[in-house]
Amino acid sequence: MVGTAVFSVAFVVAAQAVFASPVARSGYGVKDSHNVPRGWKKLARAPASHVMQIQIGLKQSNFDELEKQLYEVSDPAHPKYGQHLSAGQVEELVKPTKETSDLVHEWLGDNGIVPSSYSAAKDWITVSLPVSEIERLLDTEYHVFEHADGSKVARAPSWSLPRHLHSHIDTIQPTNSFFRARGQVSQAIVDSGVIADPSLKVLSMSPEIGAVCNTSSVTPQCFETLYKTKGYEPRSTCKNKVAFTNYLGEHPIRTDGELFLEKFRPEAVSVAKTFPQLTLAGGPGDEPLSAEDLASATSKEANLDFQAISGINYKTPIISYSTGGSPPFIPSVSTPDNTNEPYLVWVNWLLSQKSIPQVISTSYADDEQTVPPSYARRVCQQFAQVGARGTSLLFASGDSGVGPYGECVSNDGKNTDKFLPEFPPSCPYVTSVGATKNFEPEVVAYRPAFVGPDGVAHGNYTSGGGFSNIFDIPAYQKKEVTSYVKALKGEYDGWYNPQGRAYPDISSQGLYFAYFWNGTEGTISGTSASTPLTSGIISLVNDALLASGKPSLGFLNPWLYSVGFKGLNDITSGSAVGCGVDGFPAVTGWDPVTGLGTPDFPKLVKLAGGKL
């Protein structure tokens, strides 16, 4: 997984023989500690000579002002609405103070450490060091931990700093974060070919919808009809862009994109041949599937992202970002172990660019409780910077309802029953996207596990949603969330945090998308399908705005909750099934399973002030 590295058996054996010797440091105190999440076990000490790349998050000088300005430019009732900040303005607000920068550099210099790189605002410093030096620097011990799936990482659940630096450094990673960028498409919900799902029913549909929509394989022709984008001609393709991110070694396969467009958008086949694929931190390049890719079914997620966006909005330039750091990685003395958290690598690179896409889709997340709160807050603050610059960040809400069966317990050592919110969808500065199925009306995307007539097992899938245990309810959704919690009348009390940031914010179709992988048509499901689809539609709204001389929507949520909800189809049937219970129900208005609803494109354009 991204953010993890593969450690060989030989590596673990070596770790048992070659121990680092951390020295107790006077003036040090524990800066951060985090319980090892379920599913991980400690094997041995990490070898002293193993080189790792660590990132040091310096305290930002004026994030409160950045947040204030983010909400001002994103609130349609504010005079500054739409006046997004430049890269330079954002960097000025978050760069560390001279005192912070000097103290941290003095500490590094005293330890003979020279930084290898910086983020654009100098709020992150990257250094590459052997484990023995990191242990001495942070007065800690790194051990090799193994996940239930066999992957191994070197982590230090508790680490320390000189006490005078505690207020100047927010986080250092990788130390105690066990975050894994889990794709929101799993083998449980990827189906090779159109399948016979016994839960599907013959639906009553209008002639217009019935002519193009089929629940067993949903196509771009259905989406454009259902969400009313059909017939719209983009007019701002020189200004407007939409992008998607890839991790876990994923990258979109051009030949599969060509096959998809040949069938569903034959006039757009050239798009699959020419859209830019950018690689970061040693990510996979623009290449066909390898034998290893085929064996591990890699790039189904990336293919889905490109095909979902191009199917609804192929005329707007599409960009793919593939970030490295995933296994297999063979540790060595001379090569830094790229176990950086994936979002941090990507978002810091993005913020260093002077021009960035107006909409970016991401379909990867993990349980929020795998992430130390200090680190989650800092990554979330990086996302706020992107939003302040006028970009909408959309994240999939998850595919396990309120939590995966058998895993819904706390990570605080008490093992109490808890729903499991996900990060980054729980970050208040991003827009989280849930999933629906059926058409007239749409309902919560849910499919119970079943075994098909071919004997193949298909897993349970439900649109994800919940309440953060790290982030408080933001003002833009406080009324809706408070009202929803009150209406629950105590149901699930103790299982969730009623004061937490709640998600998703919006939703769209997410069951049985038609797509191609390895030259074969099949279907694929998940909020990883609804998220790029919604991103493509939001990008079309931006096109209409830019063509009308208006700025792009930027950070969506304040607009969605105050105005945009009037342009959404409310979903009122179904629930976020998970953790062995029905989970949060969909209701009239906002709910933590489909958010405010699904897009009605013409209404959204009108509400945003654009013209069709």
Nearest of 381, 316, 303 to residue 347 by alpha carbon: 381
Sign of the C-alpha dihedral computed for residues 546, 548, 550 and 555 taken in this order: negative
**Backbone dihedral angles phi then psi of residue 218, each to the nearest 5 degrees:** -95, 130
Task: Give dist(CA 499, CA 481) in Å, integer.
Answer: 9
Give the containing element (helix H, strand E) for 373. Answer: helix 373-388
Catalytic member of 123, 133, 224, 301? 301
Residue 528 annotated as catalytic: yes
Residue 191: active-site member: no
CA distance linking residue 152 with residue 165, whole number of Å: 31
Phi-psi label, residue 564: left if phi above 0, alpha if psi -120 to 50, beta otherwise: alpha
DSSP strand pairing (568-569 vs 242-246): unpaired
| Phi, psi of 103, deg, nearest 5 | -65, -40
Indicate the residue type of 547: A
Cα 72 to Cα 81: distance, rounded to the nearest angstrom: 6
User: Distance between CA 16 and CA 254 in Å, rounded?
Assistant: 45
Residue 406, Cβ density class (10 Å: 0-12 exposed, 13-18 middle, ≥19 buried): exposed
- How far is CA 216 from each of CA 172, 196, 559, rounded to the nearest angstrom? 46, 8, 34
Q: SS3 of 233, please?
A: coil
Six-digit token string for 418:
């808890």
Sorted by sequence, the CB contacts under 8 Å of residue 20 that are 6+ apart come out as 45, 46, 47, 48, 131, 132, 135, 136, 141, 142
Closest Cα partner for 170 from 58, 95, 62? Answer: 58
Catalytic residue among 528, 530, 535, 539: 528
Tell me the chain's radius of gyration from C-alpha atoms.
23
How remote is the C-alpha of 611 from its chain's centroid? 31
CA dihedral in degrees (226, 534, 565, 557; nearest 10)? Answer: 180
Residue for token pair 């959204």: 604
Q: Which residues of 228-253 are buried (b: 16+ CB within 10 A; e: fewer)?
A: bbeebebebeeebbbbbbbbbbbbbb
Asked if residue 262 lies in contact with residue 280, where contact means CB atoms within 8 angstroms, the answer is no
Residue 306 identity: F
312, amino acid identity = I
Q: Which of 139, 170, 191, 305 is catalytic?
A: 305
- Is residue 517 within 8 Å of residue 193, measured between CB atoms? no
Rounded distance between C-alpha atoms, residue 11 and residue 5, angstroms: 12
Report which of 313, 301, 320 is spatially closest to residue 223, judged by C-alpha positions. 313
Q: Is 149 a catalytic residue?
A: no
Q: Is 50 exposed, middle or buried (0-12, 13-18, 19+ CB in 10 A)?
A: buried
**CA-CA distance, 69 to 88, in Å (whole number)?**
14
CA distance readout (Å), 312 to 233, 242, 276, 532: 11, 12, 18, 10
Q: Which residues are catalytic?
A: 301, 305, 528
